[in-house]
Structure 1
Amino acid sequence: MKQPAVYILSNKTHSVLYVGVTSNLTRRIYLHKQHCVEGFTKRYNVHNLVYFELFDDMENAIYREKRLKRWERSWKVRLIEQTNPEWLDLYYQLL
Structure 2
Amino acid sequence: MREDAGAWTYILASARNGTLYTGSARVLATRIQQHREGQIPGFTRKYGVRRLVWFEAHDNVGAAYKREQLIKRWRRAWKLELIERFNPRWEDLFPSIAGFGPPLDQLLRSKLDPFPGRMPGESRAESRAPESPL
CA distance in 1, matches of 2:35, 2:63: 23
* 1:93 paired residue number: 96
CA distance in 2, matches of 1:13, 1:81: 10
> Quick one: which of 38, 43, 48 aligns to 1:40?
43
> Alignment RMSD, CA only?
1.4
CA distance in 2, matches of 1:32, 1:38: 9
* 2:24 paired residue number: 21
Aligned AA (2:94): Y
Gaps of 5+ in 2: 99-134
**TM score, norm. by length of structure 1:** 0.94
**TM score, norm. by length of structure 2:** 0.68
For the Cα contact (< 8 Å) 2:14–2:51, is it kept in 1?
Answer: yes
CA distance in 2, matches of 1:25, 1:3: 10
Larger relative contact order (Cα-Cα within 8 Å, sequence gap ≥ 6): 1
Aligned AA (2:52): L
Aligned AA (1:94): I
Deviations 1:44-83 (Å, cap 9, x if unpaired)?
Answer: 0000000000111111111111100000000000000001
Gaps of 5+ in 1: none
- Percent identity reads 39
For the Cα contact (< 8 Å) 2:34–2:40, is it kept in 1?
Answer: yes
CA distance in 1, matches of 2:81, 2:16: 16
CA distance in 1, matches of 2:24, 2:86: 19
Answer yes or no: is 1:56 the counterpart of 2:59: yes
Question: 1:13, CA displacement in angstroms?
Answer: 4.6
Question: 1:92, CA displacement in angstroms?
Answer: 0.9
Larger Rg: 2
CA distance in 1, matches of 2:50, 2:17: 11
> Quick one: which of 5, 9, 20 aligns to 2:8?
5
- The 4+ residue runs of structure 1 with deviation greater than 2 A are none
